Structure 1
Amino acid sequence: MKSEKIGRMREEILTGPIEKTLLVLAGPLIVNNLVQVVYNITDTFWLGKLGREALSAPGVTWPIIGTLMALGLGFTTAGFAFVGQYIGAEKYDRANRSAGALYSLMLFFATATAIIGTLLLPYALHFMKVSENVYPYSLTYATIIFLGIPFSFTFMAFGALVRATGDTKTPVKITLLTVAINIILDPILIFGWLGFPKLGVAGAAIATVFANSVGAFIGLYLLLTDRVGLSLSLESLKPDFEFYKKIFKVGLPSSIGQSANSFGFVILTRIIFGFGDVTYAAYVITTRLVNFLTSISRGISMAMGTMIAQNVGAENYERAKRIAERAMLINFAIASLAILIIGVFRVEIFRVFLNDPAVIKESEVVMKYFLISVPFFNGIFIVVNRTFSSAGHTKKSMALGIFRLWGLRIPLSYAFGYIGAITILGITVPLAELFGFTSRGVFFGMGMSNFIAAMVALAWFLRGTWMKRIIEEKSKTEPEKATA
């Protein structure tokens, strides 16, 4: 029985060795992240053959796509927290009902996002001051991606729900298939191989949408046929307005926070583009490399989220705190090693993707002023933020995210990049003399935002105000033993 499998995993999560359980859960997620980043790098590699303008198109448009997608993805975070905590409390029927309600809600948000995103896209690109060379590529790429958002939403909802049960392997198997489809279709559609038309940037977007649609249909089939522990039925997919209220209460802050952060990256893209295509291309390639080298730490954070949700559901708060602390130490070390590797082999790596001397030279600026802060972001900030959201305290994670981006990153990157001098408490700081109105100031401001936000997040985490579950407070009632 699938409920027996979930029960065994639940016991391991609640009572087993923290490091061992964390690594068992994280293993498939690490593979998943590596495979996803391999695809992103492959995508970057092939688009780079078309030139820097085509290469920049996905990076330019994803902040816009993410802003609207986050409205629905915030509710996925809420669904993850509810399902995980209900399983931790052994309330399996409620976990199933939560999953069904979330899935039906996501279908609605996905459709609305696709329509709104397509209509707003041209205005958003102009607002970001995307250069005339990059604009047509970005418009084409994002339009196709928006049309496929319903598949992306439901596929991601499936992954989050199944992860909440402690099953981190099934979503990875499906992801491996979708990424393989994506990697195979990318060059075929971009360059018109095997008799297909040469579609360029549009081909990359079509490959992504097709692969996500395959994953979405497989995920729905597994949920409807009771093959992944959670079991959906046509009855459970009907609108449940009572549970929608709970999802809105927990999910709305997460939606607002993720949308605000995604829109913040629209502003940040505008700031970076102020220094030209070369600077933005260097930024895109560098961040893709960081994502590859920190896939292990992100997998550990995701696994930690499952353990946090179930332990909070079972009211094992001190164990949840220890789990988060171990994840911080591990992730900080991994991220530090990743940045060291990039620093040593930076030039050789960049030449693989885009043998452009100007971009390679600019990558040194990104490395020196921004990337050294990544261990603080991945090792501390991300872990604390996921701890808050997995515990269901999405207002805290929303506040942290908005503070980092809108309170720190955007003001600091703009100030150090574009303002000649500022006066603080009667003391004038000559910013122009420090950075000379160059991209160095922008990336310095971005790095500072990671350092400061990590320290604030750590202090808030240590206060312990997140150690309270969001499901029913009565913990001594007889648990439900229904099949999950």
Structure 2
Amino acid sequence: MELLKKNLYLNKSTVKDVLKLSLPAVIEMLLYTMIWTVDTMLIGQYGGDIAVSTVGMSSEVIYTFTNILVAQSLSVGITSIVARRYGAKELDKANEYATLGFSLGFLVSMATTLFIFLFSKKLLVLAGAEPSIIGLGTTYINIVCIGLPFNMLSSMLNAVNRSYGNTKTPMIVSIVMLVVNLSLDTILIFGLLGFPELGVKGAAIATTIANISGFIYSAIYTYKKSLIKIEFKYLKKFSGARIKNITSLSVPAGMQEAAYSLARLFTSMMIMHLGTIAFAANQITLTLESISFMPGWGFAVAATTLVGNKVGEGDYKKAREYGRTAMILGIGVMCIFTLLFLIFPAQLIKMFIDSSNTEVISLGAACLMIAAAEQPAMALSMIVGGIFKGYGDTKTPFIIAFVTSWFIRLPLVFIFIYLLGTSITVFWIICLIQWSVDGLLLYIFYVKKLKPINSYITKLD
């Protein structure tokens, strides 16, 4: 009992530091998720399960690539390295790493957008989209591609700001994007204020303009006020060693996201075989789940930044304290969603689709109640992964994500969903198993590998 009290004891000052960084990050990601949520809700009210499936599958294709290559790879590498250089008070190196990471990200963003635009139809076919979805989905993707590079570049600028503990600016960027998206969604989807009724196309246009608006704000702030600057003078004395340091962190982080995202995409392909009702129920549940894990993501961001800063300073004891505090707070907050999903499942599903779609609502409510049990394990997985990244280790989270996604989730989904055609609720039971194993393994490795902390820290030149 005494040991338990000691492990759960939280220092008020440490809690304040963690909350100061994590709360804006939580709000930021909740607002980003709301952009997708608003699209899903309005499109569901406008066009039912076919429209929801179109936007859902198209978004899945787009953000699978952008997350793997930029948002969860280069952005993670930038935050991890720059946070430690900033903590060590090596501002010149911090600026150099930020500039090199952003420049590399610019090239990757352009190449990614071109690929998605050119092969949008083939990607949807490959993803298993039904004929009723492919045509409209291709149009949706092509429109969104106009603003896609701005979305990825904004993600990297946000990473630069987070690296020195500024999570408020990325939050404001998300507010700008949500306001623009929400306003234009309502007008363009339903054809208000004299605008034509564009439906799914209107949702795509709203998302595109929101992405561009967010980037403009982020770029202006970073140029004028950020403590870490993007200064292209560093490109003149190009350093292969610096690029190697960035990619050594970014590639495993990207591969971790690939393990999750590709497994999720292949899963969506198999779920498609259950029909549009099951897919729509699953998509709405995924949307609600994506809201629920935002607190975990926010505390993971705080852990990466605070742990990284303290590692840079050489204060490993405080780094461990920040990590433990983020874990306890994050798990506690996500347990609130466990209660909400168990108490109000049908009411939450009804927010995303017309009440006449009773089959979708009933099936979605059953899925959501299973998703409720995922929350603590999901929080543990995300936050411990963030702690590892603060120490400069992106390989361990990748390996565990690969094992749980490709040796647990995919085989079970293939057998029970694709071959046996069981209910979509079985898929959510499989997800529960995956997250439980993922969180447990990460915590075990955290305890084992971070105990001899002084010898474990990744060193930079």
TM-score by length of 2: 0.90
Instruction: Give the structure 2 partner of residue 402 of structure 1.
Output: 402
Match of 2:14 among 14, 18, 40: 18
Instruction: Give the structure 2 partner of residue 185 of structure 1.
Output: 184
Q: Is the 8 A contact 1:103 1:154 kept in 2?
A: yes
In structure 2, relative to structure 1, the CA distance for the partners of 1:72 and 1:38 (3 Å cut) is closer
Distance (Å, rounded) in 1 between the aligned partners of 2:283 and 2:153: 27
Instruction: Give the structure 1 partner of residue 221 of structure 2.
Output: 222
Indicate the SS of the match to 1:147: coil
Instruction: Give the structure 2 partner of residue 470 of structure 1.
Output: 458
Q: Is the 8 A contact 1:113 1:149 kept in 2?
A: no
Instruction: Give the structure 2 partner of residue 267 of structure 1.
Output: 266
Distance (Å, rounded) in 1 between the aligned partners of 2:12 and 2:229: 26
Q: Is the 8 A contact 1:35 1:176 kept in 2?
A: yes
Q: 1:183 Cα shift?
A: 0.8
Name stretches of at least 5 consecutive residues in structure 1 with no aligned partner.
Answer: 1-14, 421-435, 474-484
Q: Is the 8 A contact 1:105 1:239 kept in 2?
A: no
2:389 maps to amino acid: S
Q: Is the 8 A contact 1:190 1:204 kept in 2?
A: yes
Instruction: Give the structure 2 partner of residue 390 of structure 1.
Output: 390
Instruction: Give the structure 1 partner of residue 30 of structure 2.
Output: 34
Q: 1:177 Cα shift?
A: 1.4
Q: Is the 8 A contact 1:381 1:457 kept in 2?
A: yes
- 1:61 equivalent in alignment to 2:61: no
1:320-335 → structure 2 map (5 Å cutoff) = 320-335=319-334
Q: Is the 8 A contact 2:341 2:371 kept in 1?
A: no
In structure 2, relative to structure 1, the CA distance for the partners of 1:319 and 1:52 (3 Å cut) is same
Q: Is the 8 A contact 1:79 1:161 kept in 2?
A: yes
Instruction: Give the structure 2 partner of residue 427 of structure 1.
Output: none
Instruction: Give the structure 2 partner of residue 79 of structure 1.
Output: 78
1:470 maps to amino acid: T
Instruction: Give the structure 1 partner of residue 143 of structure 2.
Output: 144
In structure 2, relative to structure 1, the CA distance for the partners of 1:21 and 1:460 (3 Å cut) is same
Task: Provide the aligned length of Structure 1 versus Structure 2.
Answer: 442
Q: Is the 8 A contact 1:100 1:232 kept in 2?
A: yes
2:20 maps to amino acid: V
Indicate the SS of the match to 1:229: coil
Distance (Å, rounded) in 2 between the aligned partners of 1:238 and 1:412: 51
Instruction: Give the structure 2 partner of residue 431 of structure 1.
Output: none
Q: 1:271 Cα shift?
A: 1.8
Indicate the SS of the match to 2:374: helix
2:380 maps to amino acid: I
Post-superposition CA distance 1:78-115 (Å, at most 9, x none): 11111100011110111111111111111100110011
Post-superposition CA distance 1:32-81 (Å, at most 9, x none): 23322333322222101222111222321233223321223312211111
Q: Is the 8 A contact 2:349 2:365 kept in 1?
A: no
Indicate the SS of the match to 2:344: helix
Instruction: Give the structure 2 partner of residue 416 of structure 1.
Output: 416
Q: Which moved more, 1:361-370 or 1:124-133?
A: 361-370
In structure 2, relative to structure 1, the CA distance for the partners of 1:115 and 1:437 (3 Å cut) is same
1:166 maps to amino acid: G
Q: Is the 8 A contact 1:81 1:309 kept in 2?
A: yes
Distance (Å, rounded) in 1 between the aligned partners of 2:400 and 2:285: 25
Indicate the SS of the match to 1:196: coil
Indicate the SS of the match to 2:417: helix
1:278-427 → structure 2 map (5 Å cutoff) = 278-354=277-353, 355=355, 356-377=357-378, 379-418=379-418
Instruction: Give the structure 2 partner of residue 477 of structure 1.
Output: none
Distance (Å, rounded) in 1 between the aligned partners of 2:214 and 2:369: 39
Indicate the SS of the match to 1:236: helix
Q: Which moved more, 1:403-412 or 1:88-97?
A: 403-412
Distance (Å, rounded) in 2 between the aligned partners of 1:258 and 1:185: 31
Q: 1:16 Cα shift?
A: 8.5
Distance (Å, rounded) in 1 between the aligned partners of 2:162 and 2:124: 35
Distance (Å, rounded) in 1 between the aligned partners of 2:346 and 2:294: 21
Match of 1:232 among 225, 230, 236: 230
Distance (Å, rounded) in 1 between the aligned partners of 2:344 and 2:369: 14
Post-superposition CA distance 1:118-175 (Å, at most 9, x none): 2232222112221222222322222222332210111000111101111111221222
Q: 1:208 Cα shift?
A: 1.3
Q: Which moved more, 1:228-237 or 1:347-356?
A: 228-237
Q: 1:239 Cα shift?
A: 7.8
1:60 maps to amino acid: M
Q: Which moved more, 1:328-337 or 1:338-347?
A: 328-337
Post-superposition CA distance 1:409-436 (Å, at most 9, x none): 111222333456xxxxxxxxxxxxxxx8
In structure 2, relative to structure 1, the CA distance for the partners of 1:164 and 1:263 (3 Å cut) is same
1:98-113 → structure 2 map (5 Å cutoff) = 98-113=97-112
Q: Is the 8 A contact 2:26 2:295 kept in 1?
A: yes
Post-superposition CA distance 1:179-222 (Å, at most 9, x none): 11111111112122222232211211221121111221222223
In structure 2, relative to structure 1, the CA distance for the partners of 1:247 and 1:363 (3 Å cut) is same
In structure 2, relative to structure 1, the CA distance for the partners of 1:128 and 1:371 (3 Å cut) is farther
In structure 2, relative to structure 1, the CA distance for the partners of 1:364 and 1:183 (3 Å cut) is closer
In structure 2, relative to structure 1, the CA distance for the partners of 1:239 and 1:133 (3 Å cut) is farther
Instruction: Give the structure 2 partner of residue 424 of structure 1.
Output: none
Q: 1:387 Cα shift?
A: 1.6
Q: Which moved more, 1:260-269 or 1:66-75?
A: 66-75
- CA RMSD after TM alignment: 2.2
Q: Which moved more, 1:455-464 or 1:310-319?
A: 310-319
Q: Is the 8 A contact 1:77 1:390 kept in 2?
A: no
Q: Which moved more, 1:457-466 or 1:148-157?
A: 457-466
1:249-260 → structure 2 map (5 Å cutoff) = 249-260=248-259
- 1:48 equivalent in alignment to 2:44: yes
Instruction: Give the structure 2 partner of residue 197 of structure 1.
Output: 196
Distance (Å, rounded) in 2 between the aligned partners of 1:259 and 1:216: 25
Distance (Å, rounded) in 1 between the aligned partners of 2:388 and 2:448: 12
In structure 2, relative to structure 1, the CA distance for the partners of 1:366 and 1:72 (3 Å cut) is same
Q: Is the 8 A contact 1:81 1:390 kept in 2?
A: yes
2:156 maps to amino acid: A
Post-superposition CA distance 1:388-428 (Å, at most 9, x none): 223221211221221221122111222333456xxxxxxxx
Distance (Å, rounded) in 2 between the aligned partners of 1:182 and 1:358: 30
